[in-house]
Chains A and B, each alone.
Chain A
Amino acid sequence: MRLIIRDDPSSASSYVANYIVQRINHFAPSPTRPFVLGLPTGSSPVGVYRILVEKYKAGEVSFENVVTFNMDEYISLPRDHPQSYHTFMYTHLFSHIDIPPQNVHLLDGNAPNLEAECLAYEAKIQAAGGIDLFLAGIGEDGHIAFNEPGSSLASRTRVKTLTYDTILANSRFFEGGLDQVPKMALTVGVQTVLDASEVVVIVLGARKALALQKCIEQGVNHMWTLSALQLHPHPMIVCDEDATLELQVKTVKYFKSIEQIARAEGFEQILPTKIRTGPAPEVRVQRAATVVVDGFQSPTIASPQPTTSHLLRASPETEYPVRSRSPSPDFTPDRMGSRIGDPEHTRRLTPDPDQQQQKKQFAQPEPGLLQRHARSRSKTPRPVVVTTRINAVGA
């Protein structure tokens, strides 16, 4: 976890915007190998978008080969309603930059089949090669996207009911009061966010301080969904001083010092090269092409994996070549006796009911140890080979 603390909201926003620009430029995206960016809405990222627009206008970055996926959208709110996230994104970012409209993806809260829309969205993310950088904000209750407290940490894109707190917080944007506030939303899941190569979260203001404390100093907890970030290999939280109000002095000092030392050493808590430059183009194209389309089921939702196995897999083991272990042989269950040359001792010393049975019935010789070994192996479940099967309704 990288925690970057800046004095005020504008310098925190500026840090994030600069970081994104650097990531895009270092990635050197091309039409066949775009940089895939996950994007949030809300008050926290507004400053980031403003600076990104400035940087685009100053010619420091181009979004021509950037593909975006937004986190969430209200259900049944007209797409061009002033409070829709389509409008938000268009007003704050898309209308000011050179992103091709076909590279922009948002969930359609008015889709006839919302479930299919969610599955198709996950499929589109897969088809784009996964998200390289997911930018996020958090709610006062620690929600990331619309993954409200109690959301499964293994969740994927789906329909979500908003909590009363969130509806109340949103009502200030809707003239007619509570009745006008959408009660449901489509949102990417916690797991969708964790699947990104990198997650950057911007947290601004004292109102978010408790949530930040819960997510950094406490354990992984579905009541503070952002805390799932602790299981991600490359998370970064950027916050202002106000947002640290609930953190221990020790925590703040610790993160400030590692940032300082890392910078002094010229290391700057940099990402592994493979993540910064992305996979080789051939790989990416192949991934996009080998997607299997299935109109009816998505393995991720139809047959969910245990939460922990999912989360622990967030970090592919191949990512750290430096740490690769010395080759150790597979575990072979054998007996100490088998290692002694004396054939007397290779025999089993206690009676084996199986063998006795077999001897009686077929009068066969005692099976060798190798055969036993093979049999016991076959009882352990084989690792499931997951083919990427994707549901893409209407795509």
Chain B
Amino acid sequence: MVAILQPPPLTKTGITKLTNCWLVTRDSTLIQSDLWVGSTTGKILNSQAAFYDDFLVPEHTIDLQGRIVSPGFIDCQLNGAFGFNFSTVMDDMSLYRKELDALNKKLLTTGVTSYLPTVTSQAGSLYHKVLPYLVPSGSARDASVGAESLGAHVEGPFLNPHQNGIHNPSVLQSATSIIDLEQTYGFNNFAYAIKMITVAPEVANMTSFIPDISSVGIIVSIGHSEATLSQATAAVEAGATMITHLFNAMTPPHHRRPGIFGLLSSPDLTVQRPYFGIIADGNHLHPSTVTAAWRTHPEGFILVTDAMHVLGLPDGHYSWTNGSSESSVIVKKGDLCHLEGNEEAIAGSAVPLIECVNNFMEWSGASVAEVLNTVTATPAKMLGLEGIKGSLEAGADADFVVLSFKEEEGEGRKKRLGVDEVWKFGERVV
């Protein structure tokens, strides 16, 4: 048959084209390019293939006026926000669901589109009750529910009692077999809800359980630990791929005994060097320490907030049940939190991830794209979600944020990145 010109099909394609914008790429550059987003598939499209193969053209075109488009942020350590703490048991657990839904919607405003809801060290009964609510949202792919759980991060209770941080030491355990872990968290939760476990590998025989844990698809992270470099190396070679808030709640590096930090540049490591979380809130770590970690192993550098439920609340005193029925009090002042009566006891942070991004950019001199990759591409890779989350490449989930530089009030007039728009599964949600 002869190809006589066909009139264009008048179908609704549901495709939005973002134009006049800078995209963050996997190799840490900003490129000026259009982004095609499918609202029906919820994914980033290969626009060239759509054009040539399927004769598709965008239904809407949005001019972003030179702003930056980054994949949606991924927070690997978030204890709660906007007044809700994931480690909370309620008399009526349907209320937990409601609070969680509200948190997911509000969390989007900070630019975080997916995260690991983090449960601190608790008695076993709490895990059984809350973890079923924190399962990965998986195939639901519903933009209207807000930020998406990629699975729970259980930070404890198999930790070193000497590095408990503010975790309640009375609930910490040492496991004698992997059954102990399954019983503590619940068999189903262990199989479905948990994405990451923070353990102290030197406690009991934990290192020997690591291959079994990682074999079910759970990421093993070293933290709240006094492991020496050789113990930590053994853990990494057994399958641990992450370090929970590097430097915090672990033996500080000594020049002859670098400890866990030594993993970042160890010449003896036979496997890939681990990823590591960094809390760049200006309180947990000195800027110089953050930069040292970045320079040592940039490919593993992941910014996390470790934010508490007081994130997004006004300054003041807030109660917190820390693994026991007794409630303690957290004092929030700006982005910082500490336990009441002890200003040295840092109680997580109250800083949104975008502020960690800004702090780190200011301290390290890393490029915008490099910094944004520490909350997008790198955590996605660590979680085994490369090319699905934390990416603007064709086929990835269309979770992304539109950012622009805003000049701060006051002296210095520093320019800081701000979140203008948030898109989830191809729909604008903020």
Contact = CB atoms under 8 A, between A and B. Distances in A.
Contact of B47 (A95, A104, A390): A95
A79 B52 contact: yes
A100 B55 contact: yes
Contacts of B56: 101
B49 A101 contact: no
B34 interface: yes
A101 B5 contact: no
Given A95-B47, A101-B57, A293 B52 contact: no
B52 A102 contact: no
B108 to A, nearest CB: 29
A101 B51 CA distance: 6
A215 interface: no
Contacts of A87: 48
B38 to A, nearest CB: 16
Contacts of A102: 5-6, 8, 55
A113 to B, nearest CB: 16
Contact of B52 (A101, A124, A128, A395): A101
A223 B271 CA distance: 60
A71 interface: no
B5 A90 contact: no
A127 B5 CA distance: 8
Contact of A390 (B2, B46, B48): B2
Contacts of B140: none
B11 to A, nearest CB: 13
B55 A127 contact: no
A288 B6 CA distance: 12
B3 A392 contact: yes
B15 to A, nearest CB: 12
Interface string A75-101: 000011000001100100011000011
A95 B2 contact: no
A293 B49 CA distance: 29
Interface in B19-53: 34, 46-49, 51-52
Contacts of B52: 79, 86, 90, 101, 104, 106
Contacts of B2: 123-124, 127, 288, 291, 293, 390, 392, 395
Nearest to B9: A102
B341 to A, nearest CB: 61
Interface of B: 1-8, 34, 46-49, 51-52, 54-57
Contacts of B48: 80, 86-87, 90, 95
A336 B2 CA distance: 56
Interface in A106-130: 106, 120, 123-124, 127-128
24 contacts: A31-B7, A34-B5, A67-B5, A79-B52, A80-B48, A80-B49, A94-B51, A100-B57, A101-B51, A101-B54, A101-B56, A102-B8, A106-B52, A123-B2, A127-B2, A127-B4, A127-B5, A128-B5, A288-B2, A288-B4, A289-B4, A390-B2, A392-B2, A392-B3
A151 interface: no
Given A80-B48, A95-B47, A100-B55, A392 B4 contact: no
A240 B57 CA distance: 36
Interface of A: 31, 34, 67, 79-80, 86-87, 90, 94-95, 100-104, 106, 120, 123-124, 127-128, 288-289, 291, 293, 390, 392, 395
Contact of B51 (A67, A90, A288, A392): A90
Provide the main secondary structure of the chain B interface: loop
B32 to A, nearest CB: 11
A341 B332 CA distance: 129
Nearest to A291: B2
A78 to B, nearest CB: 11
Nearest to B19: A96
A31 B5 CA distance: 9
A384 B8 CA distance: 39
Contacts of B57: 100-101
A100 B34 contact: no
A392 B4 CA distance: 11
Nearest to A108: B52
A87 B48 CA distance: 7
Nearest to A79: B52
B12 to A, nearest CB: 16
Contacts of B8: 100-102
Contacts of A104: 51-52
A67 B48 CA distance: 18
Nearest to B56: A101
A291 B48 CA distance: 31
A80 B46 contact: yes
A377 B51 CA distance: 58
Interface centre among B2, B7, B54, B57 (most CB of A within 10 A): B2
A124 B1 contact: no
Contacts of A123: 2-3
A344 to B, nearest CB: 65
B48 to A, nearest CB: 5
B83 to A, nearest CB: 45
B55 A101 contact: yes
A104 B56 CA distance: 12
Interface centre among B3, B34, B55, B57 (most CB of A within 10 A): B3
Contacts of A120: 3
Nearest to A34: B5
Contacts of B1: 293, 392, 395
Contacts of B34: 95
A124 B55 CA distance: 17
Interface centre among A90, A94, A95 (most CB of B within 10 A): A95
